[in-house]
């Protein structure tokens, strides 16, 4: 189960007698983990007091010692008490050495070499090395004078004499600098200006263009460098503190780790474990990027495991969707598995827990369990005989006990401060057939019981999950330590939170089932199906995920603009240009003869070479053209570049036109037609450039499209925080334009095609589209509100 130890009460006077300062001693006493370790170190040292240098080293042992090597801690303490290890540098080297060997036998000679035992660095050697270092840095010293980084100079000396006296080194450097530079001048006393740190904002600030980009760090180039190798999984994962003072230090023994490595061949094994109770959203894309990405980067394997412990919530529709969307995101599972594949193993382990006295059948109701947890009281059934629990659990399995009349609970620690150690439920009775396992079972394991065990059974090396599971880590390792099973390395990362949307499955389910949106693949949702329908590619999503990183620290709300930046960046390179007019205004070119149609060339790409015909599309120019209603106004102004009475504008890829007349409808605000003349010689040079569409032949209406424009689904940046979050829905989040006109070449567009409609944005063919009725979704606008520089 890991190491155990007692945590006797420590008094302030005891710690002060070790030479610790008052503040350090007081802080230690309020931290139960530090208190327990300090008490053990003091007991092993067998002292009641010591000088400050020894006391500080012992305090470091208590706070930093690798718990996988506890067997060697008394040896290290003796080295400190005998002053063979007498400074922090030696201690750090010793701790590093012991971390690497763990519980294996200690080679004293190698240990002493590693931490400089017996090495004496004389004052003369320090002086000589300081002189060398200062000479090497003389140019910087003369330029920066007393603003030189002394810590850096000390570090250069320490590299050559790692066991030298750090205080003597600093004093010698200060003395020599004073000799070289002389007395401080007024300029030397002025503190250099430091860059003011910006306060972290709840909502991520927009990026500002940088003149020079810093070179990317190793972690930015490869975000997976933060994860250890499988063979390093011998260190203590977590310390489980019990209310009675006991501590379980969960870690793999040498034998368990060797058995695991033999089974996996030393490969990285991860898992992506969604519940099949809904469609995946962009938060799952982050999980996939981490789970599948780590396995791919390390040449390992990643399971797609369906966490199907709740038979009432799962649907085959969701299972099929998840498998398909994982593939679309670019990931290939090693195997597709289900938690239900291991129901028999889980049951057998539950029986083992009962036999060990670590689980019991309970008859409390859900309300009673909640009340007893709040009061930190044991269930009246907690200490029932083992044989009784075994029989009752068998009765539960055979369907002889009514649903809700009994549960199997793990005997953890009801008085623990961590509620996730309050005798969590391992099994419930549910008389519901299972979509995958059929009707074999009427008892089903809980997530807290099953998840860790299936990770262990599948030999997962890295069990990666979001930060809200951090408080469940003790329970995760309690189960595995109690059963003596292999323990994966657990690491939690920050949840992905994006502005102006919701991503909880419960809220998404309400939006869908109550028909606030048009299904799980509504393009306004940040479900992966919705993003795909909107026209977003998996590569753009993965680029966005890589850009935000996979750290634990950043729980800020990521602006949706940042996602749009990555979408726009990709489409700018991959989407051919074309012309569509959303709200057409008729323009009659009066000086172009009736029936004449000119075939002009439109560029599919901004830098299309003149000799490459495939980079162009045909644009008919005829007597009747259509421009956007917003590109015409009756009153002209200096800052307006559209068309106005008497004013000219250039039709993209065609000719300048000048407005000569305006035809009104039944009222003065109803403009039905513009009359204009074109300049076939192109001698006029208007500033404004307009997109347009013409009749492909006299009297023939241009190609008609339905275009759907999407805005943010919610008005607030963080609607999930609102009590009435549904009341925050944006009533203008979707606009359908049924009468848009397009150039003829768009007639052949099919599902999967994406275009830049010039001056309007990027658009993709929708699933509702047919050859008879083309439908396009706006994926993203041309405007980049995230910032010109964009993310790194």
Q: Is residue 322 part of a domain?
A: no
* pLDDT class of 222 with cuts at 50, 70, 90: confident
CATH assignment at residue 166: 1.10.10.2420
CATH assignment at residue 363: 3.90.800.10
CB-side exposure of 719: number of CA atoms within 13 Å? 21
Lowest-confidence range among 10-19, 522-531, 560-569, 782-791?
A: 782-791
* pLDDT class of 555 with cuts at 50, 70, 90: low
Mean pLDDT of the chain: 88
Does residue 696 share a domain with residue 726?
no
Does residue 697 share a domain with residue 586?
yes
Q: Is residue 328 part of a domain?
A: no
pLDDT of residue 205: 44
CATH assignment at residue 604: 2.40.240.10
Does residue 425 share a domain with residue 363?
yes
Mean pLDDT computed over 352-372: 96
Q: Is residue 307 part of a domain?
A: no
Q: What is the pLDDT of residues 571-582, one digit of tens each?
A: 999 999 999 999
Does residue 505 carry a catalytic annotation?
A: yes
Does residue 588 share a domain with residue 565?
no
The helix/strand/coil state of 178 is: helix
Mean pLDDT computed over 54-60: 87
Provide, rounded to the nearest whole percent, the portion of the chain with pLDDT above 70. Answer: 93
Q: Which two tokens stand for residue 216?
A: 């990317």
Which residues, other chains included, contact 186 with Cβ-Cβ below 8 Å and sequence gap of 6+?
Answer: none
pLDDT of residue 191: 67
The helix/strand/coil state of 207 is: coil
Q: Is residue 534 part of a domain?
A: yes
* pLDDT class of 25 with cuts at 50, 70, 90: confident
User: Higher model confidence: residue 181 or residue 187?
Assistant: 181
* pLDDT class of 88 with cuts at 50, 70, 90: confident
**Cβ neighbour number for residue 727 with a 10 Å cutoff:** 10
Q: What is the pLDDT of residues 11-23, one digit of tens each?
A: 888 888 888 888 7
User: Higher model confidence: residue 266 or residue 145?
Assistant: 266
pLDDT of residue 118: 87
The model carries a pTM of: 0.73
User: Higher model confidence: residue 684 or residue 454?
Assistant: 454
Query: Quick check: 748 pLDDT over 70?
Result: yes
Does residue 658 share a domain with residue 554?
no
* pLDDT class of 215 with cuts at 50, 70, 90: low
Q: Mark which of 115, 132, 167 sits at the end of a domain.
A: 115
Q: Is residue 40 part of a domain?
A: yes
pLDDT of residue 513: 92
Does residue 587 share a domain with residue 694?
yes
Q: Mark which of 684, 702, 720 sits at the end of a domain.
A: 702
Does residue 419 share a domain with residue 345?
yes
The Cα–Cα gap between 205 and 202 comes to 9
* Helix H or strand E encompassing 254: helix 254-264
- β partners of residue 498: 558
* pLDDT class of 216 with cuts at 50, 70, 90: low
Sheet holding 703-710, edge to edge: 577-578, 754-757, 761-765, 774-780, 703-710, 734-742, 580-581
Query: Quick check: 95 pLDDT over 50?
Result: yes
Q: Mark which of 115, 136, 167 sits at the end of a domain.
A: 115
Q: Which residue is catalytic, options 505, 510, 712, 734?
A: 505
pLDDT of residue 49: 84
Does residue 424 share a domain with residue 347?
yes
Q: What is the pLDDT of residues 459-488, one digit of tens each?
A: 999 999 988 888 899 999 999 999 999 999
Query: Quick check: 508 pLDDT over 90?
Result: yes
Query: Quick check: 188 pLDDT over 70?
Result: yes
Does residue 52 carry a catalytic annotation?
A: no
Phi then psi dihedrals of residue 157, to 5 deg: -70, -40
Does residue 286 carry a catalytic annotation?
A: no
Does residue 717 share a domain with residue 572?
yes
Q: Is residue 674 part of a domain?
A: yes
Q: Which residue is catalytic, options 160, 384, 495, 510?
A: 495
Q: Is residue 397 part of a domain?
A: yes
Does residue 127 share a domain with residue 106?
no
Does residue 170 share a domain with residue 150?
yes
Mean pLDDT computed over 425-449: 93
pLDDT of residue 235: 84
Q: Is residue 695 part of a domain?
A: yes
Q: What is the pLDDT of residues 149-159, one digit of tens each?
A: 888 888 898 88
Split into its structural domains, the chain has a count of 5
Q: What DSSP designation does 498 have?
A: B
Q: Which residue is catalytic, options 275, 368, 677, 717?
A: 275
Query: Quick check: 720 pLDDT over 70?
Result: yes
Lowest-confidence range among 164-178, 420-434, 457-471, 717-731?
A: 164-178
Mean pLDDT computed over 688-695: 95
Q: Which domain holds residue 111?
A: 12-115
Does residue 346 share a domain with residue 416?
yes
**Cβ neighbour number for residue 633 with a 10 Å cutoff:** 15
Query: Quick check: 169 pLDDT over 50?
Result: yes
Sheet holding 648-651, edge to edge: 689-690, 648-651, 656-664, 671-678, 584-589, 624-628, 693-694
């Amino acid at each position: 189960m890991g190491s155990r130890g007692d945590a006797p009460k420590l008094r302030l006077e005891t710690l002060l007698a070790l030479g610790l300062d008052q503040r350090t001693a007081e802080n230690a006493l309020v931290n139960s983990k530090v208190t327990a370790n300090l008490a053990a170190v003091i007991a092993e040292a067998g002292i009641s007091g010591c000088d400050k240098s020894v006391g500080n080293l012992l305090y470091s042992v208590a706070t930093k010692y690798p718990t996988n090597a506890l067997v060697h801690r008394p040896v290290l303490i003796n080295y400190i008490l005998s002053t063979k290890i007498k400074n922090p540098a030696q201690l750090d080297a010793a701790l590093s050495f012991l971390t690497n060997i763990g519980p294996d036998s200690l080679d004293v000679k190698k240990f002493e070499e590693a931490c400089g035992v017996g090495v004496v660095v004389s004052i003369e050697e320090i002086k000589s090395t300081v002189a060398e270092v200062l000479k090497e840095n003389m140019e910087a010293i003369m330029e920066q004078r007393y603003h030189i980084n002394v810590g850096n100079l000390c570090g250069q000396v320490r590299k050559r004499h790692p066991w030298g006296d750090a205080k003597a080194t600093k004093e010698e450097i200060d003395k020599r600098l004073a000799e070289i530079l002389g007395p401080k001048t007024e300029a030397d006393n002025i503190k250099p200006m430091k860059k003011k740190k910006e306060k972290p904002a709840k909502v991520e600030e927009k990026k500002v263009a940088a003149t020079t980009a810093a070179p990317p760090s190793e972690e930015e180039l490869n975000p997976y460098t933060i994860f250890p190798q499988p063979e390093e999984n011998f260190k203590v994962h977590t310390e489980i503190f019990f209310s009675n003072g006991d501590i379980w230090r969960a870690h793999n023994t040498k034998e368990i780790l060797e058995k695991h490595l033999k089974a996996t061949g030393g490969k990285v094994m991860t898992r992506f474990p969604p519940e099949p109770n809904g469609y995946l959203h962009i938060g799952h894309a982050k999980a996939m990027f981490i789970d599948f990405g780590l396995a791919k980067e390390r040449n390992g394997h990643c399971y797609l495991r369906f966490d199907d412990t709740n038979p009432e919530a799962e649907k085959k529709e969701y299972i099929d969707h998840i498998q398909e969307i994982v593939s679309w995101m670019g990931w290939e599972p090693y195997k597709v598995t289900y938690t239900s594949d291991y129901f028999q193993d889980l049951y057998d382990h539950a029986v083992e827990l009962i036999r060990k006295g670590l689980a019991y059948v309970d008859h409390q109701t859900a309300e009673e369990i909640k009340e007893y947890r709040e009061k930190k009281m044991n269930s009246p059934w907690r200490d029932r005989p083992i044989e009784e629990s075994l029989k009752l659990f068998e009765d539960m399995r055979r369907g002889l006990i009514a649903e809700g009349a009994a549960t199997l609970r793990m005997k953890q620690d009801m008085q623990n401060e961590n509620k996730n150690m309050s005798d969590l439920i391992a099994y419930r009775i549910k008389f519901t057939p299972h979509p995958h396992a059929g009707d074999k079972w009427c008892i089903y394991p809980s997530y807290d019981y099953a998840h860790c065990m299936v990770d262990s059974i599948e030999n997962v090396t890295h069990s990666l999950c979001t930060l809200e599971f951090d408080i469940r880590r003790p329970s995760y390792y309690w189960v595995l330590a109690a059963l003596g099973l292999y323990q994966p390395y657990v690491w939690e990362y920050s949840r992905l939170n994006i502005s102006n949307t919701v991503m909880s499955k419960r809220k998404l389910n309400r939006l869908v089932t109550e028909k606030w949106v048009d299904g799980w693949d509504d393009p306004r949702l940040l479900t992966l199906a919705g993003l795909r329908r909107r026209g977003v590619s998996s590569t753009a999503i993965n680029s966005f995920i890589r850009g935000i990183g996979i750290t634990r620290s950043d729980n800020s709300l990521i602006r949706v603009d940042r996602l749009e930046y990555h979408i726009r960046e990709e489409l700018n390179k991959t989407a051919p240009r074309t012309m569509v007019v959303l709200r057409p205004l008729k323009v009659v070119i009066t000086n172009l003869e009736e029936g004449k149609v000119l075939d002009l060339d439109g560029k599919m790409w901004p830098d299309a070479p003149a000799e490459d015909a495939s980079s162009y599309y045909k644009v008919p120019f005829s007597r009747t053209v259509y421009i956007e209603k917003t590109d015409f106004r009756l009153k002209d102004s200096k800052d307006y570049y559209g068309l106005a009475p008497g004013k000219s504008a250039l039709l993209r890829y065609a000719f300048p036109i000048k407005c000569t007349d305006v035809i009104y409808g039944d009222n003065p605000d109803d403009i039905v037609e513009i009359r204009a003349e074109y300049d076939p010689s192109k001698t006029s040079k208007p500033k404004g450039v307009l997109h347009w569409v013409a009749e492909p032949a006299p009297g023939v209406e241009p190609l008609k499209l339905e275009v759907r424009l999407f805005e943010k689904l919610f008005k607030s940046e963080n609607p999930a925080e609102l009590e009435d979050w549904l009341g925050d829905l944006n009533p203008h989040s979707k606009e359908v334009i049924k009468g848009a006109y397009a150039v003829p070449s768009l007639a052949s567009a099919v599902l999967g095609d994406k275009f830049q409609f010039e001056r309007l944005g990027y658009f993709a063919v929708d699933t509702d589209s047919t050859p008879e009725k083309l439908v396009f979704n706006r994926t993203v606008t041309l405007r980049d509100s995230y910032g010109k520089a964009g993310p790194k």
